[in-house]
Amino acid sequence: MQEFKEEAVRLIVDRGYSVAEVSTRLGVSAHSLYKWVKAVKPDKSEKLAAELIEAVSEILRLRAQLRRTEEVRDILKRPRSTLPGSPSKVPLHQRTPA
């Protein structure tokens, strides 16, 4: 009986037959076929939960990337005189001509 159910569901899900067609061909009520298909198909809430988890992971990854990019930008925006060993920290009389 289980193989019969699996084949009926395969006709609907994999091969694209309508529930009405399979119901008529196999002599099974449409209600039963809908229940069998529902039992096999993944629940939409599971799919939505997986998509939500993926979206949250992507958001966290992008936030970290943005934070690193902003740190680099802030470093590059600093005046050169605040960087260690910059020429402006050396008194004029100690500078070598270029």
Tell me the average pLDDT across 63-72.
96
- Average pLDDT estimate for 28-44: 86
| Mean of per-residue pLDDT scores for the chain | 84
Write down the pLDDT at residue 85. 60
pLDDT of residue 56: 97
With a cut of 90, say whether residue 61 has pLDDT above it: yes
State the pTM of this model: 0.43
Question: Residue 80 to residues 69, 72, 86, 90: CA-CA distances in angstroms?
Answer: 19, 14, 6, 12
Question: In the prediction, which pLDDT does 13 show?
Answer: 87
